[in-house]
Amino acid sequence: MAKKKIGILTGGGDCPGLNAVIRAAVRTLLSDETEVVGIQFGFEGLLTNAVVPLTQESIRGILPKGGTLLRTTNRGNPFEYQIIDDGRVRCIDRSGEVLENIKTLGIDGIIAIGGDGTLRIAERLCDMGIPMVAVPKTIDNDLEATDYTFGFHTAVAVATDAVDRLHTTAESHDRVMILEVMGRNAGWIALYSGIAGGADIILIPEVPYQPKEIVRTIRSRQREGSKFDIIVVAEGAKREGGEESYLDTTSRRLGGVAYQVAADVAQNIDLEIRVTVLGHIQRGGSPIPYDRILATRFGATAAELVLRGDFGKMVALRGDAILPVKIHDAVSRMKYVDPDGALVTNAREVGISFGDGR
């Protein structure tokens, strides 16, 4: 009897732990009855036939490595595939070709590892009859269906290290240090690293800030004898009544809010301000042990679902268990920081300001 062929792909931005998921899934799947192939560059690989065998040999040593063995891209959505037509960008639907190629390649099921965009594509392909299992991925930790996504705690560790380093130089120079971290729609990385690093002010998308409140906090700390301040700001934070800060408005690439915060308060304080934008350092490098374990459990459980023929599911962490949830129920349900929740309340109790005057 012919072996079953299972494809694995990674889509969207990369994230520490992707290789650990791939390794766990391959190890769980490989047998006399099942072979595994890697689809490169996300769903794009199904349009270009970029498919490679995944064997015990090809996954050796990848557990601690950042990035993804299978490469990835933010483009290549087969349902809205961008082409240049007459000098203008136009979207076409190439999902029919994807279906055709899956058949030609003899792929019997796919594990798609990705964020919201990848999950949506997986859901639509599933509806068209492709057996799919999804694994959620984002350092932003903003998917409602799972308690945590792998990569988040690694990003928090990197951001916390940055806060610690900024502390010592802020203290030496009597400066306000503003650290911009990732977090497009949700401020989880800013909140966790801000609490872990002992920030004075945390600014997140869920709580629009008022410049006068940031100034008030800085002055009140000065009256109490502190001559430096640490502000952690999520890239998606905005001033009350203001807009997000984009590096590029066409592609909606966020960035630069830390400079906005600096400009908002500079005139009204007598301390020097310095800005650090942490950027993709948060996404690169080796996953911390927590993320390696979570990624391994996600990969192994996704493979179990495939072997059981339980498709249309996404693996999710609920408490201490890894459970299957319907991709359909997980898609587009974002998890935001609750401004009245326990974490923000505890942060306020220890004196952290959210720039909102509460």
Least distance CB 268 / ligand F6P (angstroms): 29
Pairing of strands 229-234, 175-181: parallel
Binding site for ligand F6P (CB under 6 A): 13, 74, 115, 138-140, 182-184, 235, 254, 283
Q: Which is nearer to ligand F6P, 198 or 256 (CB)?
A: 256
Q: Which is nearer to ligand F6P, 298 or 311 (CB)?
A: 298
Least distance CB 154 / ligand F6P (angstroms): 12
Residues whose CB is less than 8 angstroms from the CB of residue 176 and which lie 6 or more positions away in sequence, other chains included = 170, 218, 228, 229, 231, 262, 265, 269, 271, 272, 273, 274
Q: Which is nearer to ligand F6P, 200 or 244 (CB)?
A: 244
Annotated catalytic residues are 140
Least distance CB 287 / ligand F6P (angstroms): 15
Q: What is the dihedral of CA 296, 302, 146, 15, to 10 degrees?
A: 50
Residue number, nearest CB to ligand F6P: 182
Q: What is the DSSP track for 123-136?
A: HHHHHTT--EEEEE
Pure H helices in the chain: 18-29, 45-48, 95-105, 116-127, 152-173, 188-197, 211-223, 257-265, 289-308, 327-330, 342-349
Q: Which is nearer to ligand F6P, 115 or 299 (CB)?
A: 115
Residue 70, burial from CB neighbour count under 10 angstroms (0-12, 13-18, 19+): buried
CB 164 within 8 A of CB 199: no
Q: Which is nearer to ligand F6P, 153 or 221 (CB)?
A: 153
Least distance CB 255 / ligand F6P (angstroms): 8
CB 151 within 8 A of CB 280: no
Least distance CB 80 / ligand F6P (angstroms): 17
